[in-house]
Structure formats: C-alpha cells, structure tokens
C-alpha cells in the first residue's frame, strides 16, 4: 500500500502573568491545572466533533511517545484503498 503524509501544527503557548510582589509557585500552578482539567478537554472535544463531521475522514489520537500533557497528535486518515471515487 502506498501512503502519503502531510503535517499541520496548531501550537498553543501558555503563559501566566503575576504581580510584581509574586514570589513564584504560590498558586502551585493553578493556572496550568485549569488549562489541563477544564480548557484542554473541552477544546479537544470541539476539535474532534468538528473533524468527525466529514465522514470521508477517520480521526484518532496518535501517540508518538510524548506525554499527553505536552502534546496530542490527531491523526486524520482518508482511505482511498477501497473506493477511488473520492480522488476527484
């Protein structure tokens, strides 16, 4: 089977700003916990719901050995091996 690939990156950089008198680690990274427990799961749900609207693609998470806290790869597959009508 012949396979072609192309990557597309959507990168998020997370930052938190604190007042001048902040001494670091006082909030025990609550802002990061908020991202991981509330924002990130909702964002992934929306992304997967959107991508799965097109039935000609299958979508799944691919793990390449990086912690899911740092990276989530979404693999999208369009399979022409069964039906070549989608080439046009």
Over residues 43-72, the pLDDT tens digits come to 999 999 999 999 999 999 998 888 999 999
What is the reported pLDDT for 1? 84
pTM over the 0.85 mark: no
Residue 56, C-beta contacts closer than 8 angstroms, at least 6 positions apart: 78, 86
- Confidence bin at 86 (pLDDT 50/70/90): low
Residue 48, C-beta contacts closer than 8 angstroms, at least 6 positions apart: 59, 74
Separation of alpha carbons 59 and 61, rounded Å? 7
Residue the block writes with tokens 């799961």: 41
Q: Where are the beta strands (DSSP E) in the chain?
A: 58-62, 73-77
Fill in the DSSP letter of residue 87.
G
């Amino acid at each position: 089977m012949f396979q072609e690939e192309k990557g597309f990156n959507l990168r998020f950089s997370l930052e938190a700003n604190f007042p001048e008198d902040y001494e670091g680690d006082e909030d025990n990274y609550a802002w990061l916990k908020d991202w991981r427990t509330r924002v990130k799961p909702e964002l992934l749900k929306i992304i997967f719901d959107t991508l799965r609207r097109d039935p000609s693609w299958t979508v799944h998470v691919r793990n390449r050995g990086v912690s899911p806290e740092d990276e989530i790869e979404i693999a999208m597959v369009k399979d022409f091996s069964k039906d070549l009508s989608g080439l046009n």
